[in-house]
Amino acid sequence: MLRLFVLILLLTNGVYYAWSNGLLRPYGFAPEQVAEPQRLASQIRPEALVILTPDEARKAEANGPVTSATRAAECQQAGPFDEVQALVLKQTLDKMLPASAWRLDELTQPARWIVYIGKFASSQALAAKRAELAALNVRIEPLVNPAMEPGLSLGAYEVRGGAENRLEALQARGVRTASVVQERAPTVTSTLRLTVPDDLWKTHQEEIKAALGDKPLRACK
């Protein structure tokens, strides 16, 4: 009885193996085939598939998707622009480019206060005052504002109090006719940074260059 059971079990396994592997298909006995050939037909350039290592995958995820447009976008900058120029430029670029393609970086330049002597009536008077200050061992600094020439700067400061303290010290050393004046008012300038995709640049480059005026574009630092 046991031998008969073992024989039936082996026979059953053999028949199942032949059926599951399609050996009985010519006789009309075989499992139903499940296939989706349309998926293979719809594949686009499967040879372009690249398998990344874990490190490469993390870097790709951190950098975000890269398109042909972003690859073509190179950083360029122009400036500086004063507050009025920057406002006009902003209004122009807002109409043409997405916010991700440009930005204006502001730089605030503080006021400049100096201890000043001038203006002198002649170059001879200027030379005489230079000699007098040299005898007192007083340092002379260059003027930033050409409108104050011919004149002498005996120290420059971002706050008026610093210049006033310097004036008191110089007066104690015998310096006369000097005073504290504002050589430069505080100013705000802006630098434009562009990362315009190639297709947008080709479309708007003439308008962008016109909006920049006499400020040339150059590679970002």
Q: How does pLDDT run across 57-116, given as a tens digit for each residue?
A: 665 565 555 444 444 468 999 999 999 999 999 999 999 899 999 999 999 989 999 999
pLDDT at 15 over 80: no
Q: What's the whole-number mean pLDDT along residues 166-187?
A: 94
pLDDT at 167 over 90: yes
pLDDT at 182 over 70: yes
Please give the pLDDT value at position 123.
Answer: 93
Q: How confident is the model at residue 22 (pLDDT cuts 50, 70, 90)?
A: low
Domain ranges in the chain? 68-104+194-219, 112-185
More reliable by pLDDT, 9 or 64: 9
- Location of structure tokens 């026979």: 11
* DSSP-derived secondary structure for 116-145: EEE--SSHHHHHHHHHHHHHTT---B--S-
Angle at 76 between CA 194 and CA 73, to 5 degrees: 65
Element (H, E) at 112: strand 112-118
pLDDT at 30 over 70: no
Neighbours of 192 (CB within 10 A): 24
- Location of structure tokens 């004063």: 82
Mean pLDDT over all residues of the chain?
82
103-142 burial code (b ≥16 CB/10 A, e <16) = ebeeeeeeebbbbbbbebeeeeebeebeeebeeeebeeee
CATH topology of domain 112-185: Alpha-Beta Plaits (3.30.70)
The structure's pTM equals: 0.49
